[in-house]
């Protein structure tokens, strides 16, 4: 008890210089307090930097696609001939096609590429990417190990044809506009979950002012869109889970 | 706020009729089901308390001495109860739900917390708990038969028959590709129905009077398991034998009413392969 009384007296003795006496309560040592707030702020800023900048940077591993596929070039009718279709979806489904039974082929296999790029000896264009395709994959007849941006967990069932054919939803509504891309974006894989950043969304906070369907691909986003479209019955569990 | 649900809507109500007189007890339905739905195997498959069988074949007898002994087999999938399924009302994680549009009781493995209340609540023993992670021995070909349409279960969750729900999804995709919204009877059939060599299992929409199942359920030989507890199972059984029908529920002595319409039996039943033709 004695010691405590002594220590509480000390501030009033030492702090005559700067603040006027009686301005702060006696138990508050203003110099120590400023120091403490400073430490707190330094810690807070450090924590924020770690949490918002360093952690997301470390969390996602950056991987480049095996070949830098140029969507813009292929969809340009002046440069590439033969990709037919008037609407954008028809052009998309020239390569990202539906099978006859209604299932979606997703990322095309090598056979789709070799429909045009058939002879490794004579490339159609002059780009280094095409040479790469010819020598590494077409000549050796190996599948290209594409990294799929929108790969969902195994327990999820998604019917593309229900959304494209029946719901009349354009591809870029959910996938973003790939048609003008000259370069494929980096594939960012979450090191903990193994899923692409496109599932969680680019923002680590998960908070958006005006969320577009292409921002995130989580279950809540599916359900939100179903509700907005008046398709609430499709929020039943066994519609999207398998 | 309670939202309006779809109880009253005449949606689909998928159900099954199993003719026990045709069932030979071969077990093809069990095998077909396990292969279709990526049901894991145990190193020791004879451990019946731990083995997972969505479709299970039971053997029942009338309990009489030699000259009068009769044996019947009955396959038991999930009953997909139509009225307050006991598993759904006890589920603390909302991992299992009755879908009012299809009548299928769903089970979401990633949502299940493995408390096994549903297993205790199910009056039919149709639910199974995964004590171990899914196991498909390599080099024996089992791993190569895995279906990508059904997600394998992890340890610590409960699983059960889903009426091959992925086949409904497949049929729907096919329908959408052909610009249809409705699917035909033969486009959605469960694996056990297709596999049964005796044709004992019939599957279809109970709400559609055109479908074979809704005609079969009107037959006087039709019964359901534990019908009087009010769960309204969507799996119906048929048998011309009174003792089999009697075993479908717990009757007090003298409570069971035998089917007396013998003309039905003679005209309709004896034309089909079953016990009467022997």
Of the candidates B99, B170, B178, the beta carbon closest to that of A236 is on: B99
Put simply, whether A220 touches B (Cβ < 8 Å) is no
Q: Which pLDDT value is given to residue B6?
A: 46
Give the domain CATH number at B106: 3.30.70.20
| In a domain? residue B4 | no
Note which residues in 175-234 of chain B have CB less than 8 A from chain A.
Answer: 175-179, 181
Task: Check: CB of residue B14 under 8 Å from CB of residue B204.
Answer: yes
Q: Which pLDDT value is given to residue B75?
A: 95
Tell me the Ramachandran region of residue A198: left when phi exceeds 0, alpha when psi lies from -120 to 50, beta otherwise. Answer: alpha
| In a domain? residue B218 | yes
Q: What is the distance in angstroms between the Cα of B112 and the nearest Cα belonging to chain A?
A: 12
Measured between beta carbons, the chain B residues lying within 8 angstroms of A169 are none
Query: Domain limits of chain A?
Result: 61-107+146-240
| In a domain? residue B231 | yes
CB within 8 Å of B64: residues ≥ 6 apart: B70
Q: Considering only alpha carbons, which residue of chain B is nearest residue A99?
A: B177
| In a domain? residue B2 | no
CB contact under 8 A, A155 and B151: yes
Residues in chain B: 278
User: Number of structural domains, chain B?
Assistant: 1
Alpha-carbon gap, residue A184 to A176, rounded angstroms: 12
Alpha-carbon gap, residue B160 to B217, rounded angstroms: 24
| In a domain? residue B7 | no
Measured between beta carbons, the chain B residues lying within 8 angstroms of A233 are 6, 101
Q: Which domain holds residue B19?
A: 14-277
Put simply, whether B170 touches A (Cβ < 8 Å) is yes
Residue B256: count of CB within 10 angstroms of its CB: 14
Q: Which pLDDT value is given to residue B265?
A: 56
Of the candidates A100, A157, A233, the beta carbon closest to that of B177 is on: A100
Query: Pairing relation of β-strands A60-63 and A187-190?
Result: antiparallel
Mutate one of B93, B170, B173 to test the A interface: name it (highest A CB count within 10 A). B173
Task: Check: CB of residue A112 under 8 Å from CB of residue A106.
Answer: no
| In a domain? residue B6 | no
pLDDT category of residue A25 using cuts at 50, 70 and 90: confident
Q: Which pLDDT value is given to residue B116?
A: 94
Tell me the Ramachandran region of residue B80: left when phi exceeds 0, alpha when psi lies from -120 to 50, beta otherwise. Answer: left
What does the pLDDT profile of chain B (278 residues) look like in tens digits?
A: 334 444 445 689 999 999 999 999 999 999 999 999 999 888 888 888 889 999 999 999 998 898 889 999 999 999 999 989 999 999 999 999 999 889 999 999 999 999 999 999 999 999 999 999 988 888 777 788 889 899 999 999 999 999 999 999 999 999 999 998 889 999 999 999 999 999 999 999 999 999 999 999 988 889 999 999 999 999 999 998 889 999 989 888 888 887 765 555 555 555 444 444 33
A135-151: b (≥16 Cβ within 10 Å) or e = eebbeeeeebebbebbb
Alpha-carbon gap, residue B102 to B171, rounded angstroms: 13
Q: A27-46, pLDDT tens digit by residue?
A: 888 888 899 999 999 999 99
Measured between beta carbons, the chain A residues lying within 8 angstroms of B161 are none
């Amino acid at each position: 008890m004695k010691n405590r009384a002594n220590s509480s007296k000390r501030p009033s003795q030492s702090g005559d210089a700067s603040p006027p006496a009686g301005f702060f309560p006696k138990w508050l040592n203003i110099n120590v307090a400023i120091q403490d707030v400073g430490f707190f702020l330094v810690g807070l800023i450090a924590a924020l930097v770690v949490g918002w900048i360093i952690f997301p940077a470390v969390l996602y591993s950056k991987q480049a696609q095996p070949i830098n596929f140029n969507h813009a070039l292929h969809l340009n009718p002046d440069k590439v001939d033969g990709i037919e279709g008037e609407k954008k979806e028809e052009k998309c489904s020239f390569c990202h096609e539906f099978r006859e039974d209604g299932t979606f082929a997703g990322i095309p296999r090598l056979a789709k590429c070799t429909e045009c790029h058939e002879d490794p000896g004579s490339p159609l264009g002059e780009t280094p990417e095409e040479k790469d395709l010819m020598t590494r994959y077409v000549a050796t007849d190996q599948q290209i190990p594409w990294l799929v941006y929108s790969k969902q967990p195994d327990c999820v069932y998604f019917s593309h044809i229900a959304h494209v054919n029946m719901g009349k939803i354009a591809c870029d509504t959910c996938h973003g506009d790939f048609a003008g891309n000259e370069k494929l974006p980096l594939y960012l894989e979450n090191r903990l979950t193994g899923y692409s950043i496109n599932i969680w969304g680019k923002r680590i906070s998960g908070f958006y002012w005006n969320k577009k369907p292409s921002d995130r691909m989580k279950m809540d986003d599916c359900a939100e869109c179903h509700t907005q479209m008046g398709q609430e019955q499709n929020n039943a569990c066994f519609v999207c889970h398998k | 706020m309670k939202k309006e649900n779809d109880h009253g809507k005449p949606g689909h109500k998928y159900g099954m009729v199993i003719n026990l007189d045709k069932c030979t007890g071969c077990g093809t339905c069990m095998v077909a089901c396990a292969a279709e739905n990526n049901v894991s195997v145990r190193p020791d498959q004879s451990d019946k308390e731990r083995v997972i069988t969505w479709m299970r074949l039971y053997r029942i007898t009338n309990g009489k001495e030699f000259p009068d002994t009769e044996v019947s087999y009955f396959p038991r999938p999930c009953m997909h109860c139509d009225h307050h399924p006991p598993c759904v009302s006890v589920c603390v994680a909302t991992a299992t739900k009755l879908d009012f549009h299809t009548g299928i009781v769903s089970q979401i493995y990633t949502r299940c917390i493995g408390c096994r209340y549903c297993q205790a609540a199910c009056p039919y023993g149709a639910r199974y708990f995964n004590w171990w992670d899914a196991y498909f021995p390599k080099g024996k070909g089992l791993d190569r038969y895995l279906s990508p349409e059904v997600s394998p279960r992890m340890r610590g969750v409960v699983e059960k028959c889903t009426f091959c729900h992925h086949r409904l999804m497949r049929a729907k995709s096919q329908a959408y590709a052909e610009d249809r919204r409705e699917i035909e009877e033969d486009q959605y059939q469960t694996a056990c129905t297709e596999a049964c060599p005796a044709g004992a299992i019939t599957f279809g929409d109970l709400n559609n009077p055109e479908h074979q199942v809704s005609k079969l359920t009107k037959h006087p030989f039709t019964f359901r398991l534990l019908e009087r507890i009010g769960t309204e199972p969507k799996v119906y059984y048929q048998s011309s034998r009174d003792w089999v029908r009697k075993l479908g529920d717990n009757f007090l002595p003298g409570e069971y009413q035998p089917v007396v319409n013998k003309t039905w039996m003679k005209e309709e039943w004896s034309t089909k392969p079953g016990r009467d033709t022997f």
